[in-house]
Structure formats: C-alpha cells, structure tokens
Structure 1
Amino acid sequence: MCMQRKLFLGVGIVGCLLSISLTGLQAQSAPGAVSPGASTGKADTLPVLSLPQCIDIALKNNITVRQGQLQVQSSTLQLKQSKYNQLPSVNGFASQGFSSGRNINPSTNQFVDVGVRSNNFQLSGSVPIFQGYQLKNLIRQNQTIVKATEKELDATENTVILNVIQQYLAVLTGAEQLTVAKRQAETSQLQVERTQKLVNAGSAPEANLFEIKATLANDQLAVVNAQNTVDLAKLALLQAMNLPGGQAFEIEYIKLPDPRIEGYSATALQVYEAALSTQPQIQAADLRTESARIGIDVAKAGLYPRLSVSGNLSSLYSSVGLSRFIADGTTTENKTQANVLIAGTIQPVTIITTQPGGSYQTYGFFEQLSNTLNRGVSLNLNIPIFTNRQYRTNVTSAIIQQQNAQLTADNTRLQLRQQIETAYTNLLAASNRYQATDASVSSLERAFKAAESRFNAGAINAVDYSLAKLRFDNARAQLVQAKYDYVFRTKILDFYQNKPLSFN
C-alpha cells in the first residue's frame, strides 16, 4: 500500500466522520460563534495540522514502523545474499615468515642451519554444481519472506494510521462538543439578560433569575469540561505522532453534510470474503505459511549428495631456495696423477683440466614463484550416509514450523472474521441509535421552542424552562456522538473491503 493511498484512506475516513454539524445548530448559531478548529486572536499564529500531515508525521516517527522498515531491508539483504551464494567463491592466502637455526629449506626439503625468510601464496576457489536444490529453494523462500515483511509493514502502518484517525476524531468530537457547550452558554446568557430586565421591570419573579443563572453556571461548567476534553484529545494526538506534549496547535476542520441512514450494501460474510484478499495481515500470514512450506524443501536438501568443483594455485619463495651457476670465464689446472719409468727415467704423468669459472646464485623472488607454481583442480562429491539423523530432524522441525505458520494464518483469519462481525453488529446498533437520537432531537427541539415561548410569555416558571433546555442540549450532544459512531462503523466496513473513501 503506497503512501498516497494511506493518506487518502485517512482523509476519507475522517472526512466522512466530520459530518457533525446539525441543521438545527446551524440555525441557532450566534453571530460571533467560532467553528471547531477555527481560531481568533493569538491562536491565528498557531500551526494548523491536517490529517495527512498528522499521518505523515506519525509514520515517520513511529518506532514500530521504523523497525518494520529495517526488517524489510534485512530480508531484502538476505534475498540478495541467497542469490550471491550461487556464484563461485575465491579465497587468497599469503604469509611471510623468518626463522633461524636448524630449518627445512621449503624448496628442497633439506635441513639447513641458516636464517630463512620464506613466503607462501595460495589462491583457491570452488563452484557449487548441485546442492540438493538448496540454493534455489533458499532464493524462493527469501523472496517470499521479503513479500511477507512488506505486507507486515503495511499492516503496521494501517494500525498507526487508524490510531491517528481515532485521535484526530477525538479532537474533532471534543471541538464539536465545545461548540455545542458554548452555544448553550450563549443561549443561557441571553436568557439571563432578558430575565434580569423582566425582574427589574417587575414582570418576573426574582426566583426565575436565580434559576436561569444556575442554568448558566452549569453551562459554563460544561464549557470548561469540554475544553479539558479537547486539550486531552490534542495531547493524545501528539502522542500518537510521537511528538512531545505541550505543543500548541490547531487541526484542520472540515464540515460535511449529514450522512444518509440506509442499510449497508453487504452482509458481514461478504465483507469478510472481500477482506481476505485485501487485508495485508492476511496476506502476510499466508506468505509466512508459504515460506515455511518452502523451508521444508530447504531442509530436505541435506539428504541429497552435493557436487562441487574446486581449484587451487600455490607458490612459495625461500631465501635459501634453489640456486643456479653463473659462468665467468675458464680455469686451467695441471694435476699429476702418477709417475712412470721411461728409458730408465721416472717421468710424471700430468693431466691438464679446464673448468668453467663462475658462482652459484639463488633464484630471484619472482623466478622462485614461477618455478614453484602448483595448480590443481578437483571434482568433489559429498554423500551423506549417516549424520546422526541431523538432517532428518531438520526436516521434521521444518514441518512443525510450517504447521505452526498455518495455525497462525488460521488464527489471523478468525480474528479478522470476529472483528468484522463485531463491526457489523456495532453498525446496526449505531444506525438504530442515530435514527432514534435524530428523532428525539427533532421532538425536543420543538418542545424547547414551545417552552421558550411560554417562558418568555410568563406561562411557565424557570425550572420547567431549564429542564426543557437541558433535555434538548443533552439530546444534541448525544446526536453528535451517535453520528460519529455511525459513520465510523460504516467506513470501517468499507476499509475492510478496500473501497475508495471520499468526503461525500
């Protein structure tokens, strides 16, 4: 689910929930009344947050969402690594050493009694050919895990969005209740002023004035309580966005027509069937089950033979390594081998030998590396015969994990079905409550207007007038709550079906 859709979801839900302005209240609004969310005076400098802004801030600051994003990155990294595992592996090794005393010449394997400096270089590599389809199945499993973590992140973001919507709704509800309370207080204030004039003129008893003032005091207390409710709701909204409390701000107020009360277009079962294919928590649970099923194939790979090709290159150098003779001219040597008697005279027998001149020099560094270079290639076959039943145990464990993942998916479906059934039942109750409350407001409004006319004419006392006003005010407040509850239940069922939400 993209960010644009999430913001549209949030705005759509709350937009429909903002249908809270009663026609009767609009007709009775005082000229100086201020709508919820509007501000005057010093409040004009306060920042105004819209619902999309609140959702965006909450998603950026929420720790659980950030952990989910890291989990997606981690699973994506694991997927890349499982693909890299199909590539050859190459390793290099180099060493340099020095030893004195009696040593073995690494070039001739003969003992020498000198200091020896030596180097050893190796390069090896291997390529997997057949691993019991383990690498292929690991890639499939990690691909499934990446999709599962993405869906789990979507589910987490949905939870955060719905929480922000709920807190945003609480601020709007409190603001509307505050407006209702202020209008009630304004009406009582006007009635106090009128009654004061009548008492001063002697047209009404002073007891009426005391009763109306008591009603005004009660209305002013309701204003204070409503303001406290708004402040607490704003604090909860800040906390939902992971922002520190105590920040002054206003929210964007949207006014929409009253909702239409009509039967919902789908049954609870139809809503559930639609939710199965759209809700990310269901999709994530199914993907986790599929991942666990592929994990069984991964575990079975340990039962198959494994075939690979490996090769290596190695070479070495020694300061007392092989040497070569460097010629430098020739030398002549006369050597008497024996004496012989010739004609009675002893004559020496001399042998003249000629030898090349020169000296022995050790081969250079790179020459030794070239002369001692060793190459090798091998085909390796590993056949598991008896491994203490380790691989069999791994397969059994993978089967248990798959069964547990399936039960988790079944439980997720069960919870979703129960949530939808509860939401559907609450919708029916909210619809009945809203219709009954709306009818009650209409009746009590007419009764209050009649009582107000009779009170102004002196036909009834202040107590009867106050009771009529109290009943009418309570009914209007209950209608606000009933309307919020009804629209919220409707949009929740729409949300389960992934329906586009709008302000209309």
Structure 2
Amino acid sequence: MTMQRLLFLRIGIIGSLLGATLTSLQAQNTPAAVSPGAGTTVPNPQKLGLQQSIDVALQNNLTIRQSQIQLQGSELQLRQSKLNRLPNVGGFASQNFSSGFNVNPVTNAFVERSILSNNFQLNSQVTLYNGMALQNTIRQNDLLRQSNQQALGATQNNVILTVVQNYLNVLTAQEQFVVAQRQAEVSRAQLDRTQRLVNAGSVAESNLFDIRAQIANDELAIVNAQNNIDVAKVALLQAMNVPINGVVGTFEVEPIPVPDPAFDNYGATTQQVYETAQGFLPDVKAADLRVQSDALGVKVARASLQPTLTLNAGVSTIYSNFGQQRRIADGTTIQIPQTIVFNGVPQQIFLTQDGFRTEDYTFTEQLRNNMNRSVALNLQIPIYNRSQVRNRIINATLQQQNSEVAAANARLQLRQQIETAYTNLRAGANRYRATQVQVEQLDLAFKAAESRFNAGALNSTDYNIAKTNLDRARASLVQAKYDYVFRTKILDFYQNKPLTF
C-alpha cells in the first residue's frame, strides 16, 4: 500500500469523526465480507466500519479498475520500448510452380519444362543509431508509467474521500435521528404532566391540543430522520459499488468518539503546508511526471531529423527440381578420337576416359550448395518529408505545454484547498467556542424552566421549547467539535503527519 493511500486512509478515519455522536451504540462483531461473483464484493455485516467500507470501495470501483488497466498498458508500452533495442529476426519461405518456357532459378538457364522451386530466407536488422530516439522513448515511457501509477493513487484517494463523505452523511443522519427521538420523548413526557395539571384544574385543556400537535410534529421529524438515514446508506453503498438488495436497513455504521479538541494555534503556515504537500501528493507528482514525459516526447520527435543507421544481415537459399546436376563415374571407359599435327603431319589418336552418368543434387544438397549470406550497413538521411517531422515536433511541444499548464493547475488547486482548509479550521474553532457558550446558557435556561414548570409557573409549551433548544444546541456542539477535529487532520494530512489524538 502506498504512502499516499495510507495517508488518505488516515484522514478517512478522522473524517468519520465529524458525524460521530456522543450517544454510544451497541457494537457488534463484523462478519467477513462475501462475494456473489462478477468481481463485486458485497459486505453483509451487522455493523459496517469505515475501514471495511473503504476496502470494499477500492476493490469494486470501476474507475480504479480503469486506472489499473491504464497502468498495465503503460507497463507493457515500457517493456516494448526496451525490446525495440534488440535485433528483429524474420523468416520467409515460398514454393513456386511454373510450366512452359522458364528460367531455372538455380542455374539461370533458359529451359522449356515445368519447374518446381523453393525459396528460403532469414533476415535480421538492428538499429545502431537513430538520434537517441530509442533511449529517449524508454525514458519517456518509464515516466509515463510512473505518472499513471501516481494517477492510480490519486483515483484511489478520490474514492476514499467519497466513501468517507457518504459515511459521514450516515453518521450525521443518525445523530439527527437521535435528536428527533429526544424531542419526541420530551413532548410525550410533557403530555403526561399537562394531563395531570388539566385533571387538577391547574391549566386549561387547550394546552393538551398544543402538546399533541407538537408530538405529531416530532413523529414526523423522526420519520424524516429515518428516511435521511436510508438515503445516506444508499449513497454509501453506491459509493462502494454494492447493490442495495434490501440491506439498507439491516446494517449500522460505527461511530468513532474522540476527546474534546484543544484550540492551540496550528503549528505551520499555509505556505509551509503547501510546500510539504506538493512533495508527496499523487495528484501533483502525476502532473510533474507527465510534464517530464512529454518533454522527452519532444526529443523523440526531434530524433526524426537525424540520420538512421541500421545493420542488416541475411541468409537465403533456393531449390529447384531441375537444378544443377552432378556426374558420377559408372565403371566404363570410352575412346575419344582426337587429331593432332606432328611435324606438319596430321595424325589421329585416341583418348581414353572414364564413363559417367548424371544425377540431380538432392533437396538438402541444393539448399547447402545454394546458400547465400549477406551483411549490410544502411544509412538513411531525411531530406524532405513534406514537413511531417516538423509538425510532429510542434505537436509534441504543444503537448508538453499543455502538461505544464495542467501541473500548474494542480498546484493552484492544492494551494486553494489548503487555504480553504485553514479558513475552515478557524471557522470551526469559532463555531465550537460559540456553540459551547450557547450550550452553557441554554442549559442554565432549561434548568430554570424545569424548576418553574415543576412549580406550575411555566406552561408546557415554553418548557418544550427550552428543552428542544438545548437538545439542538448539544447536537450542534457535537457537530462543531468533530468538524474542528476533521479540519485539523486535513492540514495534518497535507503535511504527511501520522494520525494522533
């Protein structure tokens, strides 16, 4: 697992804290995930943890699979560019038949008969020099592979953050559900108290109608909160690329409580965080590697202006059914008359020589006897090619410029994200402090209202309002607390810091 992925896993764990609630839920063991096939892992837990959600999403995400395939393609391209330095070897074989007036391919003699012939060739070629195109192509493809590898890490990070966000939405919806239940419990308790007061003649019966209406509103809020939980769970399963199949209501997500934050000044400036982050984030590294790769692409295009020197070697041979013949002595002799002039007088003599017969060379013998070997150095000098090379150089230069702009944009987005994280950190601290004060004051107000309500000096509606305001403020305090912790860990992530509390 890469360092970038580990860092995003860390920040993902902290992200879940943003929606965590102070109300403890009964945790159950998580069974192992099961796979129904088709390459998709489907969890079937009683309680789903953030780490399990991330693992399933990374395994099932189709965009990640596409990035992995693209990485494999770049690795294959790099391997092929290295193999291009080796000589290529090719073979050729043919069998021909012709009749009538022909040329014997072995003897080059004109004959008038049917000829059956074979031709065999073995050729090899290796590039000795082509303007460093082979070497620069290897370096270019290696940088492209590294860029795709970093891009895969960036894609995994995006998937992780998407899962964390949806996991957070489930926790937030669950917290809202708890708040809605509290409000309904307060309303029902008030209904009992009001009923007793009405029976005692202390308050008017119309107060019961107000309480019942409030209970109806609270029940509707509970239904809406449950619906929000279901919708958030659906989004989480979709982020994990897992079919719903009726499992939305059969699992819960695990909250992760943390201590109250300490509001110390953050130990680094935005510039310091930015300088650290751009050194290890995969998005920036992928963009920089693509710029370097495209710069080598310009050199590869310029190499086409240089001469190309190649070494060629070949071996060939032929066979013909009417090829060369050999003479073989048959054990007989023949007398051949000859006329010579001796002292001006012609005289006839007889020469004796061995008799012979003719025989065709065999297939193997012809192949061996007709063997031809060749070695050649070829120098190709480009003179004019309708400006094709010049246009390729211009196109490669434009590609490099486009990559440079993309790299600059990646750094710009990183700087803006860090600046936003800093602003959110300050805003989160201010919101938490203000909410703390709000909870303290509303708690005092509720205690006073409770005392007055028990004494019969306050109606149930005002008591319910005081209690509801306190519950909502406490829920907001929880949200503000985890929001501040999350923003802090975001900045820690940009500095490659380990997870600490």
**TM-score interval, normalised by the smaller of the two chains:** 0.7 to 0.9
Structure 1 SS opposite 2:218: helix
Are residue 271 (structure 1) and residue 273 (structure 2) matched?
yes
Partner residue in 2 for 1:312: 314
Equivalent positions of 1:299-378 (< 5 A) are 299-330=301-332, 356-378=354-376
Equivalent positions of 1:222-237 (< 5 A) are 222-237=221-236
How far is 1:164 from its partner?
Answer: 0.4
Q: C-alpha distance in 2, partners of 1:4/1:54?
A: 15
How far is 1:251 from its partner?
Answer: 1.9
* Contact 2:331/2:355, CA 8 A, preserved across alignment: yes
Are residue 167 (structure 1) and residue 175 (structure 2) matched?
no
Are residue 388 (structure 1) and residue 389 (structure 2) matched?
no
Equivalent positions of 1:42-57 (< 5 A) are 46-57=45-56
* Contact 1:19/1:258, CA 8 A, preserved across alignment: no
- 2:25 pairs, out of 35, 41, 45, with 35
How far is 1:470 from its partner?
Answer: 2.8
The gaps in structure 1 that reach 5 residues or longer are: 27-33, 40-44, 338-348
* Contact 2:180/2:225, CA 8 A, preserved across alignment: yes
Partner residue in 1 for 2:41: none
Partner residue in 2 for 1:344: none
> What amino acid maps onto 1:191 in structure 2?
Q
RMSD: 2.7
The gaps in structure 2 that reach 5 residues or longer are: 30-43, 340-346
* Contact 2:16/2:164, CA 8 A, preserved across alignment: no
Partner residue in 1 for 2:377: 379
Structure 1 SS opposite 2:243: coil
How far is 1:498 from its partner?
Answer: 2.2
Of stretches 161-170 and 438-447 in structure 1, the one that deviates more from structure 2 is: 438-447
Equivalent positions of 1:170-209 (< 5 A) are 170-209=169-208
- 2:411 pairs, out of 410, 413, 426, with 413
Are residue 9 (structure 1) and residue 7 (structure 2) matched?
no
How far is 1:366 from its partner?
Answer: 0.8
Residue deviations 1:406-448, cap 9 Å, x none? Answer: 1111111112212222222222222212211221122112211
Structure 2 SS opposite 1:69: helix
* Contact 1:132/1:302, CA 8 A, preserved across alignment: yes
Of stretches 63-72 and 96-105 in structure 1, the one that deviates more from structure 2 is: 96-105
Q: C-alpha distance in 2, partners of 1:268/1:350?
A: 121
* Contact 2:4/2:281, CA 8 A, preserved across alignment: no
Partner residue in 2 for 1:467: 465
Cα distance change on mapping 1:231 and 1:267 into 2, 3 Å: same
Q: C-alpha distance in 1, partners of 2:360/2:336?
A: 31
Partner residue in 2 for 1:157: 156
Structure 1 SS opposite 2:127: strand
Cα distance change on mapping 1:94 and 1:6 into 2, 3 Å: farther
Partner residue in 2 for 1:130: 129
How far is 1:365 from its partner?
Answer: 0.8
Cα distance change on mapping 1:444 and 1:334 into 2, 3 Å: closer
Structure 1 SS opposite 2:111: strand
How far is 1:469 from its partner?
Answer: 2.2
How far is 1:375 from its partner?
Answer: 0.5
Cα distance change on mapping 1:334 and 1:466 into 2, 3 Å: closer
Partner residue in 2 for 1:340: none
Structure 1 SS opposite 2:107: coil
How far is 1:67 from its partner?
Answer: 0.9
Q: C-alpha distance in 1, partners of 2:54/2:118?
A: 64
How far is 1:264 from its partner?
Answer: 2.6
Partner residue in 1 for 2:105: 106
Of stretches 460-469 and 369-378 in structure 1, the one that deviates more from structure 2 is: 460-469
Q: C-alpha distance in 1, partners of 2:453/2:156?
A: 56
Q: C-alpha distance in 2, partners of 1:51/1:164?
A: 8
Partner residue in 2 for 1:341: none
* Contact 1:7/1:55, CA 8 A, preserved across alignment: no
* Contact 2:190/2:464, CA 8 A, preserved across alignment: no
Residue deviations 1:359-406, cap 9 Å, x none? Answer: 322111110000000001112222223333333333333222222211
* Contact 2:190/2:460, CA 8 A, preserved across alignment: no
Per the normalisation by structure 1, the TM-score is 0.87
Structure 2 SS opposite 1:190: helix
Partner residue in 2 for 1:454: 452
Partner residue in 1 for 2:66: 67
* Contact 2:91/2:121, CA 8 A, preserved across alignment: yes
Residue deviations 1:309-351, cap 9 Å, x none? Answer: 111100011111111123323165799x9xxxxxxxxxxx998
> What amino acid maps onto 2:219 in structure 1?
Q
Are residue 145 (structure 1) and residue 144 (structure 2) matched?
yes
Cα distance change on mapping 1:48 and 1:114 into 2, 3 Å: farther
Residue deviations 1:459-487, cap 9 Å, x none? Answer: 11122212212322332333333334333
* Contact 1:91/1:124, CA 8 A, preserved across alignment: yes
Of stretches 451-460 and 107-116 in structure 1, the one that deviates more from structure 2 is: 107-116
* Contact 1:20/1:258, CA 8 A, preserved across alignment: no
Equivalent positions of 1:78-117 (< 5 A) are 78-117=77-116
Are residue 213 (structure 1) and residue 212 (structure 2) matched?
yes
* Contact 1:36/1:253, CA 8 A, preserved across alignment: no
State, as a whole percentage, how many aligned pairs show the same letter: 54
Q: C-alpha distance in 2, partners of 1:159/1:133?
A: 39
Cα distance change on mapping 1:324 and 1:110 into 2, 3 Å: same
Q: C-alpha distance in 2, partners of 1:303/1:4?
A: 44
> How many equivalent residue pairs?
476
- 1:404 pairs, out of 399, 402, 408, with 402
> What amino acid maps onto 1:498 in structure 2?
N
Q: C-alpha distance in 2, partners of 1:433/1:7?
A: 26
Of stretches 396-405 and 193-202 in structure 1, the one that deviates more from structure 2 is: 193-202
Q: C-alpha distance in 2, partners of 1:217/1:35?
A: 26
How far is 1:189 from its partner?
Answer: 2.3
Q: C-alpha distance in 2, partners of 1:257/1:9?
A: 17
Structure 1 SS opposite 2:443: helix
Of stretches 62-71 and 215-224 in structure 1, the one that deviates more from structure 2 is: 215-224
Partner residue in 1 for 2:295: 293
Q: C-alpha distance in 2, partners of 1:312/1:475?
A: 88
Cα distance change on mapping 1:200 and 1:357 into 2, 3 Å: farther
